[in-house]
Structure 1
Amino acid sequence: MKAVKQYAFGGPHVLVHEDVDEPRPGPWQVRIKVAAAGVSRLDLAVRAGVHPWSPTLPIIPGREVAGVVEALGDGVPSRWLGRRVVTCLGLAGGGYAELAVREVAAVHEIGDEVPDEAAVAAVVTGRTAVGVLDAARVAAGDVVLVLGAAGGVGGMLVQAAANLGATVVGVAGGPARSAAARRHGAAVPVDHHEPGWAGRVTRELAGRPVTTLLDGVGGELGRQAVDLLGYGGRAVVFGWASGTPVEVPARDLYERELTLRGAPGPAPGSGGVRRLEERALAAVRDGVITPLVRRFPLAEAATAHAELESRRATGKIILVP
């Protein structure tokens, strides 16, 4: 079969498309004929060798796949054969390939109403968005500012917050990405490359304060966004794509009674990560979230990585074998 292998840590050029042996499903595992594989920022970190988990090379990267079960390991009920499924493969990866194996307990069956690409976008990126919304407690009447509003997680947050009745300010870099934020449902799409973008937000809102900030970017952009929060506002930080976390002086938290928190893991008794995945898949099925995806052939995995790394990409990047 064809797969993408990584033999060294480094830039996108270390990803090599080549022939490899087909994986065999072990006990209680299924083998999936991959129709779509997701590309994530975690993949970039593992490839570059900057993730805390450092694999023994070579590896087949990729941890998000959807497709059809085409072989069963010992102990797996026969009803799984031919089922459409989606799964997170974990840090060990193996998703950038025509075939992938996973424990049957970790896969989700998907119906015909959920396309493969949308299911892949939901299973990790979507579950992150669900967790962020849980932490933010967005409600109708909120004014929600989303940084990275054209990206995979950011686009989903814009859609979901708008569907909850919030007014959404979608902040993204460049005209094409701010236009994507508008398509996701941002009432106020903003290009942060424009000088004075924060002042434009204030004018567009006509005096309404930002009540909630959803920040996966951090750095100076995150700091400017915090300044737009009104008294008693809350910020949920779930990453720093800029390379540096947002820094908020304690005086700001005290004087404006701001709440700053990270997006936590699943709450005790909530059903854990699998329950978040189920909720994200249900949101896609029910039309609450419609992931915007960009497809690349599997052989162009290096190009896909470079696109995501450039922060020019809109939506979720998908590899198609």
Structure 2
Amino acid sequence: MHAIRLHAFGPAENLTYETVDDPEPGPGQVRIAVAAAGVHLLDAALREGDTGPYPTPVDLPTIPGREVAGTVDRIGEGTDESWLGKRVVAHLGMAPGGYAELATTDAGRLHEIPARVDEAEAVAMIGTGRTTLGILQFADLGPDAVAIVPAAAGGIGTLLVQYAKNAGATVIGLAGGPEKVARVTANGADLAVDYTLPDWPEHVRAHLGDRRATVVFDSVGGDTGRAAVGLLGKGGRHLVFGWSSQGIREGSALTFTDEELTARGITSESVLGPAMLDRAGGLRALETRSLAETAAGRLRPAVQRFPLAEAAAAHRALETRGTIGKVVLVP
């Protein structure tokens, strides 16, 4: 089969397109003929040798990627034979191997893809979708809510805008550049603004009039995140799940002192890690729900596809914010 392999930590150019042996499923496993493989910013960090949330460095050489969708073409010993031939999607967890034409995983990780969902959408929802729904567990959205979504043209941002609009909230989407702003408007935001313009907060204030934001979904941090928090009214919530404006390796989440929060009458909390995992049902329940939301047409991910052989280009585009929506590799 063809696969992307990493032989040495470093830049995107270290991802090479090679021919390798086909993997075989072990006991309780299946093999998936991959139709779509998800690309995540964490993949870029791991490519450079940053272990991120993983306890040990990745062993090299490796095939990166932890989100795949396709058709089960082989099953291992003791695996339920009914999986054979089904369209499935899986998050591979700690085991890499997704950037390939074939991938193996435990049958317990599989979800059957609903009929009205394609493989690229399924990959987006198994990772980005589950994270979005996990974040939303901390938000109280309804007709009285005013939500600010930085990075609103990204994978999570796209889904946050849709969900908030479905809940009846007023949604302000922030994006970098005219093309992304247009996509956010088309996605249903009440107002889309270009956060690269210095006066963007004034446009938001003019749109809201006497109203103030009630929640900021912050994945960017930095000056943009701080300015967005400045638009919160008393009782507002700052939900943190990233810091892309600072860089994926050297950055840190935007934080405030207790004195600042008390003076403003707002709260700020990180919603990743244990905060999300400790909720009822864990990640599996979020994956199931995310696929159901897409099958029902309530959430539709934005997807940008790259050929598998161009994984390096996909990484470069993602790291330089040159993508819209979830990045997916197609063998």
Same fold per TM (> 0.5)?
yes
Q: Is the 8 A contact 1:86 1:108 kept in 2?
A: yes
- Give 1:283 shift: 1.1
| Worse-superposed segment, 171-180 or 65-74 | 171-180
> 1:85-132 CA distances to partner (integer Å, 9 max, x unpaired)?
000011321000000001001110112211111100000100000011
Q: Distance in 1 between matches of 2:227 and 2:212?
A: 14
- Give 1:25 shift: 0.1
Q: Is the 8 A contact 1:136 1:235 kept in 2?
A: no
1:247 alignment counterpart = 255
2:3 alignment counterpart = 3
1:233 alignment counterpart = 236
Q: Is the 8 A contact 1:117 1:293 kept in 2?
A: yes
- Give 1:195 shift: 1.8
Q: Distance in 1 between matches of 2:164 and 2:121?
A: 19
What is the Cα-based RMSD across aligned positions, in Å?
A: 1.1
Give the gaps of 5 or more residues in structure 2. 247-251
Q: Distance in 1 between matches of 2:3 and 2:218?
A: 34
1:149 alignment counterpart = 152
Q: Is the 8 A contact 1:220 1:246 kept in 2?
A: no
Q: Distance in 2 between matches of 1:247 and 1:95?
A: 34
Q: Distance in 2 between matches of 1:50 and 1:114?
A: 34
1:12 alignment counterpart = 12
Q: How does 1:256-271 map to 2 (within 5 A)?
A: 256-263=264-271, 264-268=275-279, 270-271=280-281
- Give 1:256 shift: 2.2
104, 107, 112: which is aligned to 1:101?
104
Q: Distance in 1 between matches of 2:256 and 2:158?
A: 25
Q: Distance in 2 between matches of 1:246 and 1:262?
A: 10
> 1:51-103 CA distances to partner (integer Å, 9 max, x unpaired)?
33320111000111100000000011211100000000113210000000010
Give yes or no for the alignment of 1:43 onto 2:46: no
Q: TM-score, normalised by structure 2?
A: 0.94
Q: TM-score, normalised by structure 1?
A: 0.97
Q: Is the 8 A contact 2:221 2:242 kept in 1?
A: yes
208, 219, 222: which is aligned to 1:219?
222
Percentage identity across paired residues of the two chains: 48
2:297 alignment counterpart = 287
Tell me the matched-pair count: 320
Q: Distance in 1 between matches of 2:323 and 2:121?
A: 17
Classify the secondary structure of the residue corresponding to 1:136.
coil
- Give 1:266 shift: 3.0
Give the gaps of 5 or more residues in structure 1. none
Q: How does 1:107-146 map to 2 (within 5 A)?
A: 107-146=110-149
Q: Distance in 1 between matches of 2:177 and 2:132?
A: 23
Classify the secondary structure of the residue corresponding to 1:171.
strand
Q: Distance in 2 between matches of 1:134 and 1:182?
A: 25
1:299 alignment counterpart = 309
149, 162, 167: which is aligned to 1:164?
167
- Give 1:240 shift: 1.0
> 1:162-186 CA distances to partner (integer Å, 9 max, x unpaired)?
1111110000111111111112221
Q: Distance in 2 between matches of 1:144 and 1:280?
A: 21
- Give 1:139 shift: 2.1
2:326 alignment counterpart = 316
Q: Distance in 1 between matches of 2:189 and 2:281?
A: 31
- Give 1:140 shift: 2.4
Q: How does 1:16-27 map to 2 (within 5 A)?
A: 16-27=16-27
Give yes or no for the alignment of 1:195 onto 2:198: yes
Q: Distance in 1 between matches of 2:109 and 2:127?
A: 13
